[in-house]
Structure 1
Amino acid sequence: MTLATQITIFRILLIPVFIGLVIYYGESVQAGKADESLRLWAAAVFGIAALSDAVDGWIARHFNQRSRLGAILDPLADKLLLLSAIITLSFTAWRQHFPLWFPTLVIFKDLACIGAAFLIDHVAGFCRIQPHWTGKATTFTQIIAILWILLDVTWIPLIWPVAAAGVFTVWSGMFYLVDGTKQIRAAGH
């Protein structure tokens, strides 16, 4: 197992730790005694997990440690981290939380992409997922929106980073829809 894949597995193992910290902090807020150390630990764990994505990618590219397992686990780890953060920060008693439309949008887009990938694989025999800059922008803006809540930023309203993440989520979803449609059409010829 490559070092890059080990870092990805470490990121996956950080997810339940992060979820626990988010839930315990929410409970402390609800009890009227916000334990700010829990909030800061949650932010630190999320930050470490998010940075580990860049580190494992760099290691895989620069030391030729690309593997089939890593190619499967890395995007899975990213999705699990972002979805767990968005969902828990939507439904726990933090001072700020995501509006309901945001987790709904993110979950719908991710499920639609998974469903489309299976459909394309079935129709075309192979689904080629090409990374696109809109997907990277989506990930970046979602991380910013998550950190906005974790760091309790209030000097600019939360709606701004959430709206930006929402726009990129829709935009990347539309790009992947167009790409998937092209793959299905190409398989028909």
Structure 2
Amino acid sequence: MKLRWLPNAITISRMVMALPLLWLLMIDDYRSALWLALVAGLSDALDGFIAKTFDWRSALGGILDPIADKLLLSVCFFGLWWSLHLPTWLVALVFARDLVIVVGALAWWRLMGTFKPAPSLLSKMNTTLQIGLVAVVLAHLALWRVPLVFLQSLLLATALLTLLSGLDYVIRYGSRAWRALGSRQ
């Protein structure tokens, strides 16, 4: 294996971590789940650092990295919902947003060709807040008790930003598609 593939190998290993992470959450081993999630997060930073430092970026890495991140985050949301530590309405909102984005991207690809996603600042903030929520809930379950008012505030902020980010995608890409389709006629 050439060293240039190292970032992709790290990303793929992060994808492989999803299954044991889900299992740990489902058997209520939150301490191990927290450590595995931490390792996955560090591997995300490491593969990005290596790819940028040595200019070992690739098209495959550009596709795999966000998939790995979304896979791990989805596993955490599902596992924490399964063990009754996240409410159904929030997990449904998170998954519905992602589903709307995927369906929209597929529709774009079908109607107009290549889809080049460009995450907005709002979307990046949403992802950061979702990761923060998962980290705080895992820390709460594994290490120390976080005040309930803080957890509830973080949960509501995550829900609001998830909703706003989803609406932002629909409006931005919907208006772009509308303009592009209108210019074809």
Aligned pairs (5 A) from 1:24-173: 24-25=27-28, 38-92=29-83, 97-152=85-140, 153-157=145-149, 158-173=151-166
TM-score by length of 2: 0.87
Q: Return the match for 1:11 from 14, 34, 38.
A: 14
Moved runs in structure 1, 4+ residues, more than 4 A?
A: none
1:183 to 171, 176, 185: 176
Query: Residues 63 and 51 (structure 1 numbering): CA distance in 2 closer, same or farther, change over 3 Å?
Result: same
Q: Using a 3 Å threshold, how does the CA distance of structure 1 residues 127 and 14 change in structure 2: closer, same or farther?
A: same
Q: Note the C-alpha offset of 1:182.
A: 3.0
Q: CA-to-partner distance for each residue in 1:68-124, whole Å, 9 max, x for gaps?
A: 21111111111110111001101115xxx1111111001100000000001111122
- 3-state SS of paired residue (2:168): helix
- Over aligned residue pairs, what C-alpha RMSD do you find? 1.6
In the alignment, the residues of structure 2 paired with residue 173 and residue 61 of structure 1 have an alpha-carbon distance, to the nearest angstrom, of 29
Whole-Å separation in 2 of the counterparts to 1:120 and 1:173: 16
Amino acid across the alignment from 2:9: Q
Compute the TM-score of the two structures, normalised by the length of structure 1: 0.85
* Identity score, percent: 31
Structure 1: runs of 5+ lacking an equivalent: 26-37
Q: Which amino acid aligns with 2:67?
A: L
Gapped regions of structure 2 (runs ≥ 5): none
Is the 8 Å Cα contact of residues 5 and 56 (structure 2) preserved in structure 1?
A: yes
Deviation at 1:54, TM superposition (A): 2.3
Distance in 2 between residues matched to 1:44 and 1:146, nearest whole Å:
13
Number of equivalenced pairs? 174
**Distance of 1:50 and 1:156 partners within structure 2:** 25
- 1:126 Cα shift? 2.1
Deviations 1:134-153 (CA, angstroms, capped at 9, x unpaired): 12111111111111221114
Between 1:173-182 and 1:101-110, the stretch displaced more is 173-182
Return the alpha-carbon distance in structure 1 between the equivalents of residues 147 and 52 of structure 2.
Answer: 39
Whether the aligned pair in 1 keeps the contact of 2:26 and 2:82 (CA below 8 Å) is no
Deviation at 1:177, TM superposition (A): 1.2
